[in-house]
Amino acid sequence: MDMQMSQEQNQTQEMTIKASPSLIEANYILSLSLPELRQTILNELSQNPALELVDHETCPFCGEVMVGGKCENCSREDSKTDHTDTVNEDLDSLYYESYSATSRSLVSDDEDDFDPMSIVASEQDFHESLRSDLHSILPEEDYEIADYLIESLDENGYLRQPLDAIARELGRDVQRVEWVLQRLQEIAPAGVGARNLQECLLLQLRYLEQEGEIIPEYVRAILENYIEELGSHKYGYIARKLKTSPEKVAEARQFIKQKLSPYPSLDPAVGRTWKSPSRSTYISPDVIIFEREGKLEVEVVEGRQFELRLSPAYQQIAKDLEAHPNSYSENERTHIKEYISRTKMFISNVNQRRKTIYKIASALVELQEDFIRYGVRHLKPLTRAMLADYIGVHESTVSRATAGKYVMLPNRKVIPFSDFFTASLSIKDVIKEIIMSEDKALTDRQICDKLRERGIRVARRTVAKYRAELGILPSTLR
């Protein structure tokens, strides 16, 4: 008796919140990008005989459903444009050989398997991409310098023309030309804009350091002082000069060989540091923002491509089962109920994904309309937490719905959802604003807490780093 009471007294009630399988599945569907969603739907179609994809004839140029063989969208917006020269006939479409309730095969073109909308997101000319990005961060009076520098880059991304010659040609101060060149080097792929091999490799090294790459000892010293000797394989000489072992020099050489490139603009594996997404290649937009009668409107692309429904055959079977349950065996009843329930849940999750993404995209149009219309200079401070609060959902919902997904703007440029948010871009400005408005000196931890209140989550050491970069003293000295 005493032992039983003791056991009862030691028992504690513990409340835990467990996500239901349906919620887990809904969150998974929400997190998928458009290509991933397409593949998930194809997989479900192959496994679930009760699920059916309604086949509509869609326009190969814009993806809109065609009526009577005609696309009203294209005829309305681009009646004077000849699309035939710009769109490949081999487009990734969904075809059905059979509409049987229990067996259907999905056939796609294996030769050129990509989404029609990817064509408008094809990679821009290297110089045009760089010009667009550089203009977005420079004052207008420096555009001439920027354009001249970009057009002076050779096929390997090097600037071979001396800065003083460029300054004389443009009638500008050489220091200003050098400042613009530094901005170019910051936003271009690492190494582009270098004036020689040494500067090219050092720019790439700086980028890797900023990205948190572990740099072997002596790599920088070798690049700064012994790059010619390295090219001549004088490892013993370099080791003596650096007072280290030849093995350390060999380790540094291996890192340089594997991680750095003498041709940055031609090597896709090295230092893609674009600050804007203009180099997106063959990306299918999940959302299209277009202008109609002066007003911005939103469309979720999957709405045109994937109309799912419960198979009419299974609908009829479900009715028969309800009316004559004894006509079916227990296994048949279990099978029918399982697949009908599975189908309804899957369709519901796909539809909910579409509604959530539409809701988020519509809110972004309201909050960032100037950015959509006029470019990055008009981007307003916005975090995912702020957007979540604005539309009344959890921040994790916004993160899942936007991660890895893309938006096509009215100018046909395709950008990631992340470009609408500014926390990662303006964190230094926010830190500076917090410190400038403080009543008493705030510690880095307190600044970190205030950033979190604004939906910006960073570590205390990151705050300390950015504060130091801003030239602001710690709280004990302010």
pTM: 0.45
**Residue ranges of domains in the chain, CATH in brackets:** 126-259 (no CATH), 287-419 (no CATH), 423-477 (1.10.10)
Which token pair is 378? 């008009």
Neighbours of 417 (CB within 10 A): 22
- Ranking 4-13, 18-27, 385-394 by mean pLDDT, the lowest is 4-13
* Predicted local distance difference test score (pLDDT) of residue 181: 94
* Predicted local distance difference test score (pLDDT) of residue 93: 30
Q: Which is it for strands 307-310 and 51-54: parallel, antiparallel or unpaired?
A: antiparallel
Provide the edge-to-edge strand list for the sheet that holds 406-408. Answer: 295-300, 287-292, 406-408, 414-416
3-state secondary structure of 455: coil
Sign of the dihedral through C-alpha 358, 360, 364, 367: positive
How confident is the model over 147-196, as pLDDT tens digits? Answer: 899 888 887 788 988 999 999 989 999 999 999 999 998 888 888 899 98
How confident is the model over 214-248, as pLDDT tens digits? Answer: 888 899 999 999 988 887 778 889 999 999 988 88
Residues 6+ apart with CB under 8 A from 9: none
Q: Which helix (H) or strand (E) holds 307?
A: strand 307-310
N- to C-terminal Cα separation, the chain:
67
CA distances from 413 to 64, 171, 279 (A): 19, 34, 10
The most distant pair of C-alpha atoms in the chain lies apart, rounded to whole Å, by 100
- How far apart are alpha carbons 147 and 435 in whole angstroms? 37
How confident is the model over 81-140, as pLDDT tens digits? Answer: 343 333 333 323 322 222 232 233 333 333 344 343 333 333 345 667 677 778 878 888
Contact predicate 384/247, CB 8 Å = no
In degrees, rounded to 5, the angle at the alpha carbon of residue 106 between the alpha carbons of residues 343 and 47 is 35
